Chain A
Amino acid sequence: MEHQERSAHYEVYEVFIQRDDLSHHVHVGSVVAPSAKLAHQVARENFLRREKAVNIWVVKQEHVHATSYEDQDFFANQMLNKNYREVSGYAENAKKWKTFKQVAITVDDLVNDIKEH
């Protein structure tokens, strides 16, 4: 087999796809491409052969600054009980409303009120 002359290597671009106008871009994987413009095309061919989308970001892999998987302490925020931040921390509201002859409502009920008109 004859010797292969090694080609210059394409850059790695991380790919972020926005499915619709009200969605954020979501990371789906990466491609290699010689330029950002071609990375858009390779990303479309690799990730959008079937699905719809409205926008693609490609970012050179070297420009992504990630936190460390090893340092999970960085994400530690569950040391104290934080149920005062959560809906689940207010379960007694429903029982109390009952004594006032009202039912509990959620944010979804208010949102749905808006959607009705």
Chain B
Amino acid sequence: MSDVQLQIFMDRIQQGQKIESTDWMPDDYRKLVIKQIHMHGISEVMGAYPEKEWVPKAPNLRRKLALIAKVQDEIGHGQLLLRVAEDAAKPFGKVRDDMITDLFVNKVKFHNVFHMEAPTWADAGIIGFLVDGGAIITQASLLESSYGPYARVLQRICAEESFHMQHGESVVLSLAEGTAEQREMLQAAVTRWWPSMMFFFGPPEMSSGAQRMMEYKIRTRTNEELRQKFINRYVPRVLSLGMTLPDNQLAYHAETKLWTYTEPDWEKFSYMVQHNSGPKSQARIELRRQAHEDQKWVRDAMIRAGQVIEAMA
């Protein structure tokens, strides 16, 4: 790679041009794009697991149907994102199977929230309310990404997330206007998920990879900017339901227009994500591995059938 080539590329980024998978790009850019979209795609897939646990136990048929639809959306988003990652990874010869199996050997991480337990129906609601809310804020910021295929696919994903958001709010609102027992269940779920949500956006001091993604405009907002937007939007909503948040530092400061909050245990959560050592990490990865391996014969048979059909044509 010549310096001139790199300079032309960086000029394109500065001008707000979109980069396509077939364009020349520095290997560093390509690797960061693949890492980001791969992690995002796998997180969508793993995000289906905590909610799928509640499909058989949903309180009524409408909730069950909505939850099934949401789980299907998450898997669909995973497929769309992995497809985009595959096109980016074409020069490295990496395909779908590699993207999936990387999960089993800890070569790709997924969001901290999907390592956690969802022990009650209120957790299913809070995941839609807070986790999807946080995910939408992150994804909306990525609509400006310099990587064109990612920005395009996120338009569809964000549109479908709007249903997830309403679904989560609907479950939470029902519980909030319910019995004392239901409100207690909701409060317990809020308390359980809040520290995970503070970790969700990442540390204020961003990793070198995240900083390079900012330079390349693969992403354009800092972790702290996104977290502040989340807190600003969701704290008043949670409090308005008569719920409390497990953080006595939480306060808005008009002069800085920023919120103070108690930092989550960065080390504990980072270790969990790095080593898949959360309460549900291994169980959910194992379910994913079983699904992948048990269906291998179907995928292989499909390929053979496809070849036969083509040979006959």
Contacts and interface: CB of A to CB of B under 8 A. Distances in A.
B72 A46 contact: no
Instruction: State the majority secondary structure of interface residues on A.
Output: loop
Interface in A43-57: 45-47, 49-50
B158 interface: no
B300 interface: yes
Given A35-B309, A35-B310, A49-B69, A10 B83 contact: no
Interface string B165-186: 0000000000000000000000
A4 to B, nearest CB: 5
B153 A4 contact: no
A55 to B, nearest CB: 19
Contacts, number: 70
Given A45-B76, A49-B73, A69-B23, A34 B299 contact: yes
A46 B76 contact: yes
Interface residues of A, number: 27
A62 to B, nearest CB: 11
B20 interface: yes
A5 B104 CA distance: 13
Interface of B: 20, 22-24, 69, 72-73, 76, 79-80, 83, 86-87, 95-98, 101, 104-105, 152-153, 156, 160, 293, 296, 299-300, 302-303, 305-306, 309-310
9 contacts: A1-B104, A5-B296, A7-B97, A8-B300, A12-B87, A42-B79, A46-B80, A49-B76, A49-B160
